[in-house]
Amino acid sequence: MDLKLKLRLRPSFFISFLIFILFLINPNFGLASNPKCISTEREALLTFKASLTDLTGRFSSWSGPDCCNWTGVLCDARTSRVIKIDLRNPNQLVNSDEYKRGCLRGTIHPSLARLKFLSYLDLSSNDFNGLEIPEFIGHIVSLRYLNLSSSSFSGEIPAVLGNLSKLESLDLYAESFSDSGAFSLRASNLGWLSGLSSSLKYLNMGYVNLSGAGETWLEDFSRVSTLKELRLFNCELKNLPLSLSSPASLKLLEVLDLSENSLNSPIPNWLFGLTSLRKLFLRWDFLEGSIPLGFKNLKLLETLDLSNNLGLQGEIPSVLGDLPQLKFLDLSANELNGQIHGFLDAFSRNKGNSLVYLDLSSNKLAGTLPESLGALRNLQILDLSSNSFTGSVPSSIGNMVSLKKLDLSYNAMDGSIAESLGQLEQLVDLNLMANTWEGVLQKSHFVNLRSLKTIHLTTEPNRSLFFKLPSTWIPPFRLEFIQIENCQIGPSFPMWLQVQTKLNFVTLRNTGIEDTIPDSWYSGISSEVTYLILANNRIKGSLPQKLVFPKLNTIDLSSNNFEGPFPLWSTKATEIRLYENNFSGSLPQNIDVLMPRMEKIYLFHNSFTGQIPSSLCEVSGLQILSLRKNHFSGSFPKCWHRSFMLWGIDVSENNISGEIPESLGVLPSLSVLLLNQNALEGKIPESLQNCSGLTNLDLGGNKLTGNIPPWTRKLASLFMLRLQSNSFTGQIPAELCNVPNLHILDLSGNKISGPIPKCISNLTAIAHGTSSEVFQNLVFIVTRARQYQDIVDSINLSGNNISGEIPGEILGLSYLRILNISRNSMAGSIPEKISELSRLETLDLSRNRFSGAIPQSLAAISSLQRLNLSFNKLEGSIPNLLKFQDPSIYIGNELLCGKPLPKKCPKDIINSRLL
Ligand SMILES: *[C@@H]1O[C@H](CO)[C@@H](O)[C@H](O)[C@H]1NC(C)=O
Ligand SMILES: *[C@@H]1O[C@H](CO)[C@@H](O)[C@H](O)[C@H]1NC(C)=O
Ligand SMILES: *[C@@H]1O[C@H](CO)[C@@H](O)[C@H](O)[C@H]1NC(C)=O
Ligand SMILES: *[C@@H]1O[C@H](CO)[C@@H](O)[C@H](O)[C@H]1NC(C)=O
Ligand SMILES: *[C@@H]1O[C@H](CO)[C@@H](O)[C@H](O)[C@H]1NC(C)=O
Ligand SMILES: *[C@@H]1O[C@H](CO)[C@@H](O)[C@H](O)[C@H]1NC(C)=O
Ligand SMILES: *[C@@H]1O[C@H](CO)[C@@H](O)[C@H](O)[C@H]1NC(C)=O
């Protein structure tokens, strides 16, 4: 070899040597980085690709010659055979737009079956739009991993999958997220599972409809004795066998999920033979009976979820407290009862307990909370809400050093809250609402709550829970969520609240704060706060003007002593409650710009003046406008043209003048219209008959004129019609009888003449006593008061010029409670069968010209509490059985005699002479 040659060889020799060394280090070097794709396999992949639609370019790399470096494809390093195809949707946020666009669609070409060495196939989270799972997948017998989950396959799972004898993991989870339908897989015969019995470790058939799989479903699964994880979530399984022929066959099972099936059975004993179980999920299964002691066999159990069965009863057995590995226990939403002492004592004996999560909420557990709670030093989440626990928060709570969330809400805890609570440095979320706490909360209760973000604390209005914190104390926490109700925080607005400027939810209701709140607090929270509720205090002062609250949804400052002008806050609030304060001045003309999303605005009971701004017409989502008892004047806005949602208007007790605007008739949703106690004049606009959903109409106490409108019969939902104290004339129209839902009719104090129409018995609601709660609630929502409650089922025609007799038909109104026809010109006798109005509470016939005797049957109306027959022409003796002692209800009837009137009746005189 000459030198030249040697020199030429040397570099390549060095490179070869280097490669050799690298081979020693990593035998796959070179081959791994550069496999050569086999052309028949490349062809198969391209054919497969061609039958799929791909909106987001997931196949963009599937073109070059080397299929082994295409995205989602992996080849064997030595043989270059394709061994893995992973086409799982890269976006896992189901239902997001990215997820949907990322879905592959189309069909699955059988060319895949040509990949004879494929061991891993993941087509999950795509959208095959109801395609059946292709049979040929069962021919790719090299598969060890197959994932077809959430890809909108439908139909019967092919039995040929049972030929995949090397399969270790099979995921057929079938929840479908397709836009084009709810596809579901089913399996009506599970015999094929036995073909997988030597290899399968993981099987997920969640959401597969197994209702047709017969009684043997459990035997079929249990034959796969290699299984470590079996998930049958929401499979429409109906019957849970109570025994298993060979429970030994599932000896390796570590995870079992049978949740969301309608098992309707007790917890079966065969479960306790599955001694490898680490996780058991049996939630939403309609399981019943008690929790068996057999759980003590499951020594490896880490997770036990028996929640939401609604029917599990009895006490929580203490054996659960003995399970050494238990980390997660959810028994919520059942009917468990008794105390929890035994069970928690067992945990505390088990010193190394590892419990991290304990949810016993929504059961019927009772008794006090034991001191042994404190032994749960690893517990992070404790939810005991919605039970019947009583007593105090035990002082051992301070030992639960890992606690992040404590929920004792909705119990009957009537004691005090232990000071050691203040030691829980990890506590983020504290919920003590809806109990009947008492006692005093001091600095020590909060002193080390560094992590606290959320506090809910409410008690009954008549209990006393006091905050006694130093007025200048600055706490270690910055809260995001505070809800305190019926506890005494005030009278001052303390420093510990003033420094909370990260709040995004505030409720301080009935907390005795009588102070002013510094403007800086409002501006501090303005950027994040969504709910600002300071109702039922005695907070003074005016609000800072011109703040921007970009996230504010609800403002409730009602029932305080706020004063000053309406706050010019720019918000997206939907609900604004400033009622029962002393705000004054006029409303801003640009209220539609400041609060464009306003749906419900409650300003009643303040001192607002000026006109109701017509820009309210521009707030298209407005539903409720509640302005009662202010000093608004001028005319009511006339511009209603886009308030399609407006259904409740209450501007009563103001000083509104002019006419009722015609344009109210364009409000398609109008249901409650209260314009009473104002200075309105003119006629009721005909257009109101278009508001066919009108339920409550009160126009009383105005200066309205004209006839009672006959078109009220078009208002099929009308529950209340009050036109009292106006100047209406004419007769009562017969059409009024045909308002089927009318429960309250008040025409008193007008100039109405003519008779009471005989058709009055056609007021079906009063005749048959239909339910009126819905209508009453509608008014309540608008007025926040029950001012009409006492006059349901009443007819008041008093103070008119009505003549004629009481029509006998009126006796058909058997649910009538109040009948007032006083101060009219009616004559004739009181109907003999008046007792047919058997629910009557008030009957006022005074100041008419009724004659004849008082019918005896009047005394048979046991509900009658108020009666007035004075100033008529009644005669004869007052029935003995009438219990009323007040003579004034009978006076002014010259020919009437007997108790309680001083005038004795002739027959009494005779009797007394005889005695
Ligand atoms: C495939 O290989 C080519 C050339 O080696 C390289 O440029 C490309 O980035 C690779 N593609 C993928 C998806 O790895
Ligand atoms: C199957 O794919 C889904 C995502 O599409 C994934 O959540 C699931 O864990 C996979 N199953 C297995 C057994 O790996
Ligand atoms: C499984 O494969 C065998 C032989 O390959 C075949 O005879 C049999 O029909 C297959 N089973 C099913 C259910 O397709
Ligand atoms: C499940 O399958 C059964 C018949 O096997 C059918 O009656 C039932 O409607 C199916 N359930 C759903 C939700 O499709
Ligand atoms: C406190 O008020 C609740 C209702 O809010 C009532 O049930 C309870 O009996 C009252 N308790 C006392 C001691 O007055
Ligand atoms: C309400 O405010 C007005 C001034 O705006 C004042 O005259 C009146 O006394 C206040 N009423 C109450 C009850 O404080
Ligand atoms: C009362 O109602 C009945 C049936 O609902 C109807 O036939 C009758 O005409 C009505 N009477 C009057 C006066 O409207």
More confident residue, 180 or 398: 398
Pocket test for ligand 6, best of 584, 605, 608, 629 (most atoms within 8 A of CB): 584
Nearest CA to ligand 1 atom 9: 69
Q: How would you list the strands of the sheet with 288-290, edge to edge?
A: 288-290, 311-314, 335-338, 364-367, 388-389
Task: Tell me which ligand sits closest to the C-alpha of residue 37.
Answer: 1
The SS3 assignment for 338 reads strand
pLDDT surpasses 80 at 34:
no
What's residue 912's pLDDT? 61
Task: Tell me which ligand sits closest to the C-alpha of residue 158.
Answer: 3
Residues 905, 895 contacting (CB under 8 angstroms): no
Could you give the C-alpha distances from 874 to 801, 822, 899, in angstroms and in order? Answer: 20, 14, 15
Distance between Cα 810 and ligand 7 center (Å)? 14
Stated length of the chain: 915
Name which of 540, 536, 534, 568 is nearest 554 in CA terms. 534
Residues 426, 404 contacting (CB under 8 angstroms): yes
> Which amino acid appears at position 508 of this protein?
L
Task: Tokens for 125, please give them.
Answer: 């989270």
Q: Report percent pLDDT > 90 for the chain.
A: 89
Nearest CA to ligand 2 atom 1: 147
Distance between Cα 537 and ligand 5 center (Å)? 20
Pocket test for ligand 4, best of 205, 211, 237 (most atoms within 8 A of CB): 211
Lowest mean pLDDT among 41-45, 618-622, 903-907: 903-907
Nearest CA to ligand 6 atom 13: 582
Residues 849, 829 contacting (CB under 8 angstroms): no
**188 CB within 6 A, ligand 1:** no
Half-sphere exposure of 805 (CA within 13 A, CB side): 10
Structural Rg of the chain based on CA atoms? 40
**767 CB within 6 A, ligand 7:** no
**156 CB within 6 A, ligand 4:** no
**236 CB within 6 A, ligand 4:** yes
The SS3 assignment for 111 reads helix
pLDDT surpasses 70 at 667:
yes
Check: pTM over 0.85? Answer yes or no. Answer: no
Cis peptide upstream of residue 900 (ω within 30 degrees of 0): yes
> Which amino acid appears at position 692 of this protein?
S
Distance between Cα 193 and ligand 4 center (Å)? 21
| Model pLDDT for residues 341-396, shown as the tens digit of each residue | 999 999 888 876 899 999 999 999 999 999 999 999 999 999 999 999 999 999 99
Q: Using the CB atoms, write b or e for 443-467: b if 16+ within 10 Å.
A: eebbebbeebbbbbbbbeeeeebeb
- Residues 6 or more apart whose CB falls under 8 angstroms from that of 899 comprise 878, 880
What's residue 95's pLDDT? 84
Task: Tokens for 485, please give them.
Answer: 């109700």
What's residue 15's pLDDT? 45
Task: Tokens for 620, please give them.
Answer: 């298209």
Distance between Cα 591 and ligand 6 center (Å)? 23
**584 CB within 6 A, ligand 6:** yes
Listed in sequence order, the DSSP H helices in 402-510 are: 495-498
Nearest CA to ligand 4 atom 4: 212
pLDDT surpasses 50 at 28:
no
Distance between Cα 84 and ligand 1 center (Å)? 17
Residue with the two structure tokens 């007997």: 898
State which ligand 3 atom lies nearest to the alpha carbon of 162.
13
State which ligand 1 atom lies nearest to the alpha carbon of 61.
13
Average pLDDT over residues 507-514: 96
Helix (H) or strand (E) holding 107: none
Tell how many helices (H) and how many strands (E) occur in the chain.
12, 61
- Please state, in angstroms and rounded to a whole number, the distance separating the CA atoms of residues 258 and 609: 65
What's residue 641's pLDDT? 86
pLDDT surpasses 80 at 2:
no
What's residue 249's pLDDT? 82
What's residue 914's pLDDT? 55
Residue with the two structure tokens 């409108």: 709
Task: Tell me which ligand sits closest to the C-alpha of residue 763.
Answer: 7
Q: What is the 3-state secondary structure (H, E, C) of 790-856?
A: HHCCEEECCCCEEEECCCHHHHHCCCCCEEECCCCEEEEECCCCHHHCCCCCEEECCCCEEEEECCH
pLDDT surpasses 80 at 7:
no
- Please state, in angstroms and rounded to a whole number, the distance separating the CA atoms of residues 404 and 38: 56
What's residue 349's pLDDT? 87
CATH T-level assignment (fold) for domain 660-908: 3.80.10
**470 CB within 6 A, ligand 4:** no
Distance between Cα 881 and ligand 4 center (Å)? 69
More confident residue, 266 or 18: 266
- Please state, in angstroms and rounded to a whole number, the distance separating the CA atoms of residues 744 and 765: 10
- Please state, in angstroms and rounded to a whole number, the distance separating the CA atoms of residues 907 and 214: 90
The SS3 assignment for 446 reads coil
Distance between Cα 61 and ligand 4 center (Å)? 42
Nearest CA to ligand 5 atom 11: 462
Distance between Cα 40 and ligand 1 center (Å)? 20
- Please state, in angstroms and rounded to a whole number, the distance separating the CA atoms of residues 67 and 42: 6
**732 CB within 6 A, ligand 7:** no
Distance between Cα 161 and ligand 3 center (Å)? 9
| Model pLDDT for residues 249-286, shown as the tens digit of each residue | 899 999 999 999 999 999 999 999 999 999 999 999 99
Bridge pairing between strands 531-533 and 751-754: unpaired
Average pLDDT over residues 425-430: 98
Distance between Cα 706 and ligand 1 center (Å)? 89
Pocket test for ligand 3, best of 135, 160, 161, 193 (most atoms within 8 A of CB): 160
Residue-averaged pLDDT of the chain: 93
What's residue 243's pLDDT? 87
- Please state, in angstroms and rounded to a whole number, the distance separating the CA atoms of residues 253 and 874: 93
Label residue 84 by pLDDT band (50, 70, 90).
very high
pLDDT surpasses 60 at 480:
yes
Lowest mean pLDDT among 4-18, 374-388, 702-716: 4-18
**759 CB within 6 A, ligand 7:** yes
- Please state, in angstroms and rounded to a whole number, the distance separating the CA atoms of residues 620 and 574: 12
List pocket residues of ligand 5, CB cut-off 6 Å: 460-462
Bridge pairing between strands 73-75 and 82-86: antiparallel
| Model pLDDT for residues 802-848, shown as the tens digit of each residue | 999 999 999 999 999 999 999 999 999 999 999 999 999 999 999 99
Distance between Cα 840 and ligand 7 center (Å)? 24
Distance between Cα 113 and ligand 2 center (Å)? 22
> Which amino acid appears at position 168 of this protein?
E
Q: Using the CB atoms, write b or e for 368-391: b if 16+ within 10 Å.
A: bbbbbbbbbbbbbbbbbbbbebbe
pLDDT surpasses 90 at 17:
no
Question: Which DSSP letter does residue 386 get?
Answer: S
Q: Residue 29 region, left (φ>0) first, then alpha (ψ -120 to 50), else beta? A: beta
Task: Tell me which ligand sits closest to the C-alpha of residue 62.
Answer: 1
State which ligand 4 atom lies nearest to the alpha carbon of 188.
5
**238 CB within 6 A, ligand 4:** no
Q: What is the 3-state secondary structure (H, E, C) of 217-271?
A: HHHHHHCCCCCCEEECCCCCCCCCCCCCCCHHHHCCCCEEECCCCCCCCECCHHH
Distance between Cα 698 and ligand 6 center (Å)? 28
Helix (H) or strand (E) holding 685: none
Task: Tell me which ligand sits closest to the C-alpha of residue 762.
Answer: 7
With vertex at residue 909, the alpha carbon angle to CA 904 and CA 912, rounded to the nearest 5 degrees, is 120
- Please state, in angstroms and rounded to a whole number, the distance separating the CA atoms of residues 166 and 826: 99
Label residue 8 by pLDDT band (50, 70, 90).
very low
Question: What are the residues facing 897 on neighbouring strands?
Answer: 877
Bridge pairing between strands 279-281 and 429-431: unpaired
Average pLDDT over residues 775-802: 96
Nearest CA to ligand 6 atom 8: 582
> Which amino acid appears at position 75 of this protein?
C
Nearest CA to ligand 6 atom 5: 584
CB pairs under 8 A, 24+ apart, for 789-793? 791/744, 791/746, 791/818, 792/743, 792/744, 792/817, 793/743, 793/744, 793/765, 793/766, 793/769, 793/817, 793/818, 793/839
Pocket test for ligand 5, best of 458, 462, 486 (most atoms within 8 A of CB): 462
